[in-house]
Chains A and B, each alone.
Chain A
Amino acid sequence: MTDAEKKIGGAGWFQRLLDGRWSHIAVPVFCVLLSLLVSGVLLVVLGKDPFVGFYSFLQGSGLAPKGSYGGGSGIQSDFFTFLGYLAPMLLASLGFVVGFRAGLFNIGISGQMVASAFTATVLVGYSDLPAVLSKPLVIIIGAVVGALLGAFVGFLKYRFNVHEVVSTIMINYILNYIVGFFINMYFVNGLTRSSLPCSTDAALMIYNVQIGGISCTIPLGIFLAVALAFFLDWLFKRTVVGFELKAVGQNPKAAKYAGINVGKRLIQAMALSGALAGLAGVAYYCGYYTTIVPKTLPQMGYDCIAVALLGNGNPIGSIFASILVSVFQNGSNFMSSTLGVQKEIASLIVGIMLLFSACGGYFRFLAHRKVQRAEDSKIKAKAKAEAAAEGMTGEGEK
């Protein structure tokens, strides 16, 4: 065994996995495992059992049974609550993915969420419309308001060359305070200081469904969200619109050359991104909560960016990424009471996860370099052997 051959052993199946054709799955999974390890160490440092900790996140999200349940609740109800949280998270990250694919960075998702949820709540949530009318109306209004806001951002970019990051951040503030103003002036609940709740008919939930003797609240947004994820995947892979959106995102000049109406596609991409953000808004404020806290932008509107990136900017990847992040966010309360640590530790774990996910490209690079070096040393070893053989014959000739 030469040194060189030993080095080949250094780049084993693991590096090859990260560098190979499954790298787009292997690398994020590796990042997540690594962040769980680091988070585990963190919990150990706090004097807690990390396995109990991680398990309690699953318990809190209805993915594992708790030791005991309070009156009228069970693993089913926990699970549906989890789905209620997952739905807006997935929709919001899909919203980001759409913009991202077309080369746009939509930071305005939180503003778009609040504004469309507020509009839907005011127009439909406070009316007496029956459920069959009001539920679809809430969805439609959410999507339309979000789309208009997104299209406006796209228009600013196309017409006046205003960068979408700048305009969306500013619009976030504007929407936040406008909505806050109207809630405080006209729609405030004097006791809780948040908006009056939208009606049960309008809310995107089916209340009091008996499953296994437990009364569950079934969120409707999740079905929409998963269906849209698959639809978007198909859109980007199979359709002319998807192809053109990708093309505009990759190289606007070449897209114009290819005959694509770049301005139209930019505005459409932002409108679609905004529409998904609007759906996330109604799924969050009319399908998980029923009220809006004034002058507070939802953190989800920013978390979804990280989720989208964790999912490789891919709609299907976003499903897995949002499940993962939602487990930690949604299960944090139960974890907190189980371990006796602040529930903000959940945010910390999510933060660690996102940090490592952001390093995914670097891990891939490391693996690639290792594999490359192993191959090089293999070649060098071979060359050395050949040279040795050559040298022998050379001497013989002399």
Chain B
Amino acid sequence: MQDDYIIDMRHITKRFPGIVANDDVTLRVKKGEVFALLGENGAGKSTLMSVLFGMYQPDAGKIYLRGEEVKFDSSDDAVAAGIGMVHQHFKLVDNFTVAENIVMGVEPKKRLAGFLPCVDIKEANKRVKDISEQYGLAVNPTDMVGDLAVSQRQRVEILKMLYRNAEILIFDEPTAVLTPKEIEFLLDIIRGLRDQGKTIILITHKIEEIKKVADRCAILCRGKLVDVLDVASTSVQHMANLMVGREVKLETTKGEPHFGKEVLKVDHLTVRNADKFEVVQDVSLSIHEGEIFAVAGVAGNGQGELANTIAGMQDAYKGTVTLDGKDITSETVRNRVEDGVAYIPEDRQGMGVFMNLPLDENLALRRYYKEPFSKGGVLDHAKIREFADDLIERYDIRSGQGGRTITRSMSGGNQQKAIVAREIEQHARLLIFVQPTRGMDMGAIEHIHDQIIAERDRGAAVLLISLELDEVMQLADTIGVIYNGKLLKTAPASTMTSQEVGRYMMGVADND
């Protein structure tokens, strides 16, 4: 009986300061199945898999692999045992080629002039090409990783594992960074890998994906294993309820929009990147009070630059940005904030927070210089802490040591929650939200969507930039589709179907 299970984790408990990440979790995975691990942020999915992958040692419990007990002191041991992990944040060297990244650490060697050992790059390229063809993961071995799109980088990560003969592949939130089309493609890849006899563990909080690809599914809630389900015979609603631990509504309900005055006007805006390439071309749009303007588009089509330019992080090359009738094209970031611009950037760890500062200081980032948080240039840490504690409470930001937690040690979803909380709390005139729910679980997404709608109903203008078509369709009053830096189509949300939007996202222009 036991032999059926390739992985058998028994009574795993893992504690971190102030938190029990895994509480007596027992998990069994069969060989050759796609096994999903479903749970909210901080439910302990990633920790459990890091334990399996040897990155953490469990405080209690045992792991059996193919029926034999194993102890991994590091992830190297796990890799040697045939386990591979595709991390949420890729671990690749940008200025190495695809093949170099894949073989790094286990390079094929040759001897130059008969004795000088060196890496056999030709052989590496060949092997990478072979594997990529075998599993249908098209990559060019000699491309620089830095030039690749996100979905291609992910493929490189997967190939890295396959190159090391991994039989068990752990995917940590693999679709968080992908576009709808790319997600479909990845799910195909996962099915393909399963058909070739690999065992797949999928960490996710997107139930639809589980429905599409997984055979069985374990649900974790606050560190505990809630249930293991057969996916085919379980409803989406039931899974969602188990995951959040209460009833959730899957559709966001929002009332009719009431447009007021124009808040943001972007006029013929062109933005160049460092290479003088026009990443945003001649974009014009206008957003009113009480309007959610959603920009749909595949990643890397200029959305990030558009948002950055409106928020003042990047300079406009041509064109103007007007807020409430005032030209802010060359205003400083702080003046824009004071004028009422809130901004959730795409790059949350590199821009949205200081990873090495405590949570409370990050939460006060928009107001620390003003009374009552500082007087005469002297900070009032007590006031900052008080403010932060309030936000932590209301937005359910989970961390080990409350406001004093160093932000780096928090989970990605909770870092995002902190940014969202901070920006919404500004009660700004214009909210620029880039992927506000990226990497978040359903309960949190629901909460944030409600907040965005509440901000709209309060009379704020919302510029929502999302890669998730569902999110765009759910929230938008007006949809603009961006492709190659150009706004291809702008129309009221009610006049467009998701199929149409999807077509524009692929760059198919209007017929009329």
Chain B nearest Cβ from A371, distance in angstroms: 13
Give the contacting residue for A383; candidates B61, B313, B334, B366; CB below 8 A.
B61
Given contacts A251-B350, A254-B353, A259-B337, contact A240 B374 (CB under 8 A): yes
Interface code B347-365, partner A: CB below 8 Å = 1, 0 otherwise? 1001111111100010001
CA distance A65 to B350 in the complex (A): 56
Q: Most chain-B CB neighbours within 10 Å: which of A253, A256, A258?
A: A258
A98 at the interface (CB under 8 A from B): no
| B333 interface contact, C-beta 8 A | yes
How distant is the Cα of A246 from the Cα of B59 in the complex, in angstroms?
A: 37
The answer, yes or no, to whether A348 is at the interface (CB within 8 Å) is no
User: A209-250 toward B: CB 8 Å interface, digit per residue (1/0)?
Assistant: 000000000000000000000000000001111010011001
Q: How far is the CA of A374 from the CA of B345 in the complex (A)?
A: 42
- Closest beta carbon of chain A to B261's beta carbon, Å: 25
Also in contact, A383 and B62, with CB within 8 A (given A239-B378, A243-B379, A250-B356): yes
Chain A residue numbers with a CB within 8 Å of B366 are 258-259
Return the CB mask of B321-356 against A: 1 if under 8 Å, else 0. Answer: 000000000001110010000010101001111111
CA distance A189 to B142 in the complex (A): 67
| Contact indicator B333/A240 (Cβ below 8 Å) | no
Report if B368 contacts A (CB, 8 A): yes
Question: Please, how many angstroms separate the alpha-carbon atoms of A132 and B13 in the complex?
Answer: 72
A261 adjacent to chain B (CB < 8 Å):
yes
Render B77-94 as a binary contact track against A, CB cut-off 8 A, 1 for contact.
000000000000000000
- Cα–Cα, bound, A240→B369 (Å): 6
> Which single residue of chain B is at the shortest CB-CB distance from A259?
B334
- Contact A254–B334 (Cβ < 8 Å): no
Residues of B54-75 whose CB lies within 8 A of A: 57-62
Given contacts A240-B377, A256-B313, contact A379 B343 (CB under 8 A): no
Interface size in chain B (residues, C-beta < 8 A): 33
Q: Closest residue to A241 on the B side, CB-wise? A: B377
B348 to chain A, nearest CB (A): 10
A239: min CB distance to chain B, Å: 5
Contact across chains for A253 and B350 when beta carbons are under 8 A apart: yes
Q: Check if A238 sits within 8 Å of B352, measured CB to CB.
A: no
Which A residue's beta carbon lies closest to that of B348? A254
B337 touches A254 (CB 8 A): no
Does A254 contact B332, Cβ atoms closer than 8 Å?
A: no
Q: If the complex has contacts A243-B368, A259-B334, are A376 and B357 also in contact, measured as CB distance less than 8 A?
A: no
Enumerate A256-292 residues with CB–CB distance to B below 8 Å. Answer: 256-261
Interface of chain B residues 20 through 72 with chain A (CB within 8 A) = 57-62
Contact B352 A379 (CB under 8 A): no
Contact A257 B60 (CB under 8 A): no
Docked Cα-Cα span, A260 to B355, in Å, equals 17
Residues of B within 8 A of A382 (CB): 60
Q: Are B59 and A379 in contact (CB under 8 A)?
A: yes
Q: Which residues of B contact A260 (CB under 8 A)?
A: 334
Closest CB of chain A to B61's CB: distance in Å? 7
Q: Does A162 contact B (CB under 8 A)?
A: no
A-B contact pairs, 14 of them (CB 8 A): A238-B378, A238-B379, A239-B374, A243-B379, A251-B350, A251-B355, A254-B350, A254-B351, A257-B313, A258-B366, A259-B334, A259-B366, A379-B58, A383-B62
Given contacts A254-B351, A379-B57, 8 further A-B contacts (CB under 8 A): A243-B379, A253-B347, A254-B350, A254-B353, A257-B345, A258-B366, A259-B366, A383-B61
9 smallest CB-CB distances across A and B, nearest first, come from A259-B334, A259-B333, A258-B365, A257-B351, A240-B377, A240-B369, A240-B374, A253-B351, A259-B337
